[in-house]
Chains A and B, each alone.
Chain A
Amino acid sequence: MSWKKIGRVSEMGELNKIEDELTPELDLALREFRLSVYAWSETVMNRPRQAAAPRRQVWRLAAGWALSCALIAGAITAGVFEHRRQPANIAQVRLPEQPRLAVEPGAKPDPKPETKPETKQNIQQVRQEDEELLAKVDSDISRAVPNAMEPLAQMMAWDETKDAVE
């Protein structure tokens, strides 16, 4: 059936005009287009379907899940391992410090220094050593003041002595 005829049969005013004005060439082109779509659809619909694509997708999905599970399990294992190892690490770091703190000049050597608690003397000795070290660092720094800064350094020294007197 021609599109001109369809246009005449329908009662739509404006569209009828448009469809009545269809040139024979446009009319033919529309009919051929319809035939092509019909033939294309029929061919495609009746062709055998391949089932390979979904299988590959299932395989990909399974691989993705397996990889995700492995990563999660790895992360959890690493976390637990690290958590358990942490106290041991801390103990290992503290171990060399304990004999130094425990040994006092003139005191008897302790057979199990790591098990004994620190005494007051030990703490005082450590503090003294720290103070000596700091004093040494101070003197080193003060010696390193360049000549151009000498007047300023003297002023600071004067201020400190003044503060000490007051």
Chain B
Amino acid sequence: MATAEEIGAEEFSAVVTKHRPQLFRFLLSSTRDVDLAETLTQECFLKAHRNWASFRGESSTMTWLMRIAINLQKDHWRNRRMQFWRKTQVNSVGLDEASEWLPSGERSVEQQMLARERVAQVGKAVEGLSERQRTVFLLRYVEERELSEIARMTGLNEGTVKAHLSRALGKVRAELGGKR
């Protein structure tokens, strides 16, 4: 007969399998560093596992995990700013490089080129956003989250989320418009 601990472990294992791709994707697009995204994803699940018993299910598991991930990411950047004298290895790439991964679909070569250019422009604009704007933008337009959910994940109120999103969208629009 399985113990409560074993049931908990199985349950948590299922949570990891289900939510890992989304968390990793968000952290990757946010940090643009594969190794860092991997590390933060691991840390996120480690932290979640430690606090699994105290998770009361008031929000969805994904919202809870995403909130942990966002906080870990914030801590990481804060620590890095504090440790500016340390030589840290930077593996981050430009978000515009994401255009290389764009599925070709059934488009002509010319269409593919144009699509890549558009993606590169959006990536460049996203890189220029502030940390909060970028987080909100990625949660909305990459992770397709509702505003109320984004507010719970980031700990901001909906009005602030709207303001950040509006500014972020304005910058992306300007980048796309300016290049034309």
A1-27, CB < 8 A from B: 1, 3, 6, 10, 12, 14-15, 18-19, 23, 25-26
Closest residue on chain A to residue B163 by CB atoms: A14
B123-137, CB < 8 A from A: 123, 126
The answer to whether B166 touches A30, judged by C-beta atoms less than 8 angstroms apart, is no
Interfacial chain B residues near A33, Cβ < 8 Å: 98, 118-119, 122-123, 126, 141-142
Q: Mark A39-50, 1 if CB is under 8 A from B, else 0.
A: 111111100000
Complex alpha-carbon distance, A25 and B34, angstroms: 30
The answer to whether A29 touches B29, judged by C-beta atoms less than 8 angstroms apart, is no
The answer to whether A36 touches B162, judged by C-beta atoms less than 8 angstroms apart, is no
Instruction: Say yes or no: A35-B102 contact (C-beta < 8 A), given A10-B147, A41-B21.
Output: yes
The answer to whether A26 touches B172, judged by C-beta atoms less than 8 angstroms apart, is yes
Interfacial chain A residues near B103, Cβ < 8 Å: 35, 39
The answer to whether B25 touches A41, judged by C-beta atoms less than 8 angstroms apart, is yes
The answer to whether B166 touches A44, judged by C-beta atoms less than 8 angstroms apart, is no
Q: Does B176 contact A (CB under 8 A)?
A: yes
The answer to whether A34 touches B141, judged by C-beta atoms less than 8 angstroms apart, is yes
In whole Å, how far is B22's beta carbon from the nearest beta carbon of chain A? 9
The answer to whether B21 touches A45, judged by C-beta atoms less than 8 angstroms apart, is yes
Q: Mark B1-45, 1 if CB is under 8 A from A, else 0.
A: 000000000000000000011001100110000100000000000
In whole Å, how far is A68's beta carbon from the nearest beta carbon of chain B? 18
The answer to whether B118 touches A32, judged by C-beta atoms less than 8 angstroms apart, is yes
Interfacial chain B residues near A44, Cβ < 8 Å: 28, 34
Of the candidates A14, A15, A34, which one forms a contact with B142 in the assembled complex, judged by CB atoms under 8 Å apart? A34
In whole Å, how far is A36's beta carbon from the nearest beta carbon of chain B? 4
Counting residue pairs across A and B whose Cβ atoms lie within 8 Å, the total is 88
Interfacial chain A residues near B146, Cβ < 8 Å: 10
Complex alpha-carbon distance, A12 and B115, angstroms: 30
Q: Does A153 contact B (CB under 8 A)?
A: no
The answer to whether B99 touches A36, judged by C-beta atoms less than 8 angstroms apart, is yes
Complex alpha-carbon distance, A10 and B140, angstroms: 12
In whole Å, how far is B16's beta carbon from the nearest beta carbon of chain A? 13
Of the candidates A12, A18, A41, which one forms a contact with B28 in the assembled complex, judged by CB atoms under 8 Å apart? A41
Complex alpha-carbon distance, A43 and B28, angstroms: 12
Complex alpha-carbon distance, A3 and B144, angstroms: 9
Closest residue on chain A to residue B122 by CB atoms: A33
Interfacial chain A residues near B121, Cβ < 8 Å: 29
Complex alpha-carbon distance, A3 and B180, angstroms: 22
In whole Å, how far is A46's beta carbon from the nearest beta carbon of chain B? 10
In whole Å, how far is B49's beta carbon from the nearest beta carbon of chain A? 20
Interfacial chain B residues near A39, Cβ < 8 Å: 101-103
In whole Å, how far is B31's beta carbon from the nearest beta carbon of chain A? 12
Q: Does B169 contact A (CB under 8 A)?
A: yes
Q: Does A38 contact B (CB under 8 A)?
A: yes
Q: Which residues of B contact A (CB under 8 A)?
A: 20-21, 24-25, 28-29, 34, 98-103, 115, 118-119, 121-123, 126, 141-142, 144, 146-147, 158, 162, 165-166, 169-170, 172-173, 176
Q: State the 4 A-B residue pairs at the shortest beta-carbon distance, nearest first.
A: A41-B25, A39-B101, A40-B101, A36-B98
- Return 14 A-B CB contacts under 8 Å, by A number: A29-B122, A30-B122, A30-B141, A32-B118, A32-B122, A33-B118, A33-B123, A33-B126, A36-B100, A36-B101, A36-B123, A38-B142, A44-B28, A45-B21
